[in-house]
Copies of this chain bind each other. A is one copy, B any other.
Amino acid sequence: MLEPALYLFPVGLSEDSMTAVLPQVNIDLLRQVRHFVVENLRSARRFLKKVDRNINIDELTFTELSEHTPAEAVGPMLAPLERGEAIGVISEAGCPAVADPGADLVAAAQRRGFKVVPLVGPSSILLSLMASGFNGQRFAFEGYLPIDEAARTRRLHEMQQRIQRERQTQIFIETPYRNNKLLAELCRRLPGNMLLCVASDITGPAQSIITRPLSAWAKAAYDYNKIPTIFLLFS
Confirm or deny: A140 has a beta carbon within 8 angstroms of a beta carbon on chain B: yes
Identify which of B8, B103, B137, B203 contacts A135 (C-beta below 8 A): B103
A112-141 vs B, Cβ < 8 Å mask (1 yes, 0 no): 000011101111011111111111111111
A116: B residues at CB distance < 8 A: 131, 133, 209
Consensus secondary structure, chain A interface = mixed
Confirm or deny: A24 has a beta carbon within 8 angstroms of a beta carbon on chain B: yes
A210: B residues at CB distance < 8 A: 110
Q: Is the Cβ of B137 less than 8 Å from the Cβ of A110?
A: no
Instruction: Tell me, in angstroms, the Cα distance from A22 to B197 when the chains sit together.
Output: 26
Q: Is the Cβ of B98 less than 8 Å from the Cβ of A129?
A: yes
Tell me how many chains of this kind the complex includes: 2
A1-38 vs B, Cβ < 8 Å mask (1 yes, 0 no): 00000001000000001001111110000000000000
Q: Is the Cβ of B23 less than 8 Å from the Cβ of A133?
A: no
Q: Is the Cβ of A137 less than 8 Å from the Cβ of B99?
A: yes
A142: B residues at CB distance < 8 A: 138
Confirm or deny: A106 has a beta carbon within 8 angstroms of a beta carbon on chain B: yes
A190-221 vs B, Cβ < 8 Å mask (1 yes, 0 no): 00000001000011000101111000000000
Confirm or deny: A163 has a beta carbon within 8 angstroms of a beta carbon on chain B: no
* Of listed A17, A118, A141, residue having the most chain B CB within 10 A: A118
Distance in Å: Cβ of A3 to nearest Cβ of chain B: 11
Q: Is the Cβ of B131 less than 8 Å from the Cβ of A97?
A: yes
Instruction: Tell me, in angstroms, the Cα distance from A1 to B98 when the chains sit together.
Output: 36
Confirm or deny: A168 has a beta carbon within 8 angstroms of a beta carbon on chain B: yes
Q: Is the Cβ of B130 less than 8 Å from the Cβ of A8?
A: yes
Identify which of B109, B120, B134 contacts A103 (C-beta below 8 A): B134
Binding site for B on A (CB under 8 A): 8, 17, 20-25, 95-100, 103-104, 106-111, 116-118, 120-123, 125-143, 168, 197, 202-203, 207, 209-212
